[in-house]
Amino acid sequence: MAENISHHYVPQFYFKLFTGGSRQICILLLEEGRIVPSAPIKGQCARNWFYGTVEIEREFSKLEGLHAAALRALVEAATTDDWPKWSQDHYPWLLQALVFQRARTMLEVEKVAPAMMAMHLRMFKEYIQATRPTDEANEIISAIDGGLLEFRKNPTVTVFQQLQAALESAALLTDMQTCIIRNHTDFPFVFSDSPVVFYNSYCRNITDRGVLGYQTPGLQIFLPLTSSLQLMMFDPAVYSGRCCNGPCCDVVERSDVSNLNVLQLQHSRQAVYFADPDDAEYVRSLYEAHKPCLVKPEAVFRVRNDLQVKGEPDGGEIMHSFEPQLNYNLSLSFIGCAPVAPRDYVFRHRSPALVAEHDKMKV
């Protein structure tokens, strides 16, 4: 049997949730703005030897089977209102499916690469300054500043580092509330080549640090499930609205659907997918309306020297990288909050006890 060299970073079962099992899907190609009305699912979101070996791909396929069972059960329960079909046994696999899918895409690899390279170069410059004569150090640092030296990591290594951190942290999402958004409009939900979106409306005004961590107050997670269903998880301590009233929230406003679809446009690398060719004009119009504001997500690296200890300047530096929020101000009719002001923001965990228990399990 021929080796499976094409490794998918968005699994084929996920595509088929939208197509009803069909092997064809509609695509919006972002760079060209062109719509392909029918393309084979088999060739989408795949790269040769992305996970390194056939054995690793097979192990990931086993995980995908468990994730697929959880997502299908959730879709069936939300479609039929038969919630016994969705059991607590599915819940851990749902959380794992979310973090696993978010960490495994090409967008995620490309998202973290610039910040990691910037951090490694900064650390290397510090090392050179400390270990080389001044003239030699200045020459090397000048070459670095001129872009003549780069640190690049194999994408497979990056994927595994991202996956390891994600799978270790899935349990940190257990304090979030789950809601299925049921779309009753004539606009479909679409999905991108990186379909799990982290957002934070509560911390939308905090721009100098990361606010998309697993335990950050105000975190929201979105994953389209079908053309008419979308999973939303959110922090119940800071959000209110119809989404808090049960396992499902029925939506009849087109604007809500389009707002959620813009998240997929913003959190994409090359393509956005949809199930029905008849929706091509809507998808094209949405893309054209938001094309000027599309900014590919990319982590940033910062060096801060404004640290204070007991109200006094510390004089030291701290290097950190984080993923900024998407370039979009999300507005939904069924969920709301009072965004925290930068002057009032204090770093904290949503559930300190959960974090402590998680850290204890890691030891």
Q: Write down the pLDDT at residue 44.
A: 94
List residues bridging with 25 in a β-sheet.
39
Residue in this structure with the two tokens 């972002």, named with its chain if needed? 30
Residue 336 buriedness (CB in 10 A; 0-12 / 13-18 / 19+): middle
Q: Write down the pLDDT at residue 314.
A: 59
Residue in this structure with the two tokens 């029905």, named with its chain if needed? 276
Per residue in 195-215, pLDDT (tens digit) is 999 999 999 999 988 999 999
In the predicted model, is pLDDT for residue 38 greater than 70? yes
Q: Higher confidence at residue 238 or residue 56?
A: 238
List residues bridging with 301 in a β-sheet.
321
Q: Write down the pLDDT at residue 124.
A: 87
Greatest Cα pair distance in the chain: 73
Distance CA 105, CA 159 (A): 8
In the predicted model, is pLDDT for residue 74 greater than 80? yes
Question: Which residue type does 181 have?
Answer: I
Name the pLDDT band for 121 (thresholds 50, 70, 90).
Answer: confident
Read off the pTM.
Answer: 0.92
Distance CA 254, CA 241 (A): 18
Q: What is the mean pLDDT of residues 84-113?
A: 91
Q: What is the mean pLDDT of residues 214-223?
A: 98
Tokens of residue 199, six digits: 């957002």
Q: Write down the pLDDT at residue 42.
A: 93
Per residue in 254-287, pLDDT (tens digit) is 999 999 999 999 999 999 999 999 999 999 999 9
Phi, psi values for residue 43, rounded to 5°: -95, 5
Q: Write down the pLDDT at residue 307.
A: 59
Per residue in 149-189, pLDDT (tens digit) is 777 777 788 888 888 888 899 999 999 999 999 999 999 99
Strands 308-309 and 34-40: unpaired
In the predicted model, is pLDDT for residue 315 greater than 80? no
Name the pLDDT band for 1 (thresholds 50, 70, 90).
Answer: very low
Distance CA 39, CA 19 (A): 12
Q: Write down the pLDDT at residue 309.
A: 56
- What does DSSP assign to residue 240? B
In the predicted model, is pLDDT for residue 313 greater than 70? no
In the predicted model, is pLDDT for residue 295 greater than 80? yes
Q: What is the mean pLDDT of residues 109-129?
A: 85
Which of 10, 53, 7, 71 has the alpha carbon at shortest distance from 270?
Answer: 10
Q: Write down the pLDDT at residue 216.
A: 97
- What average pLDDT is seen over the chain? 91
Q: Write down the pLDDT at residue 148.
A: 80
Q: Write down the pLDDT at residue 306.
A: 66
In the predicted model, is pLDDT for residue 2 greater than 60? no
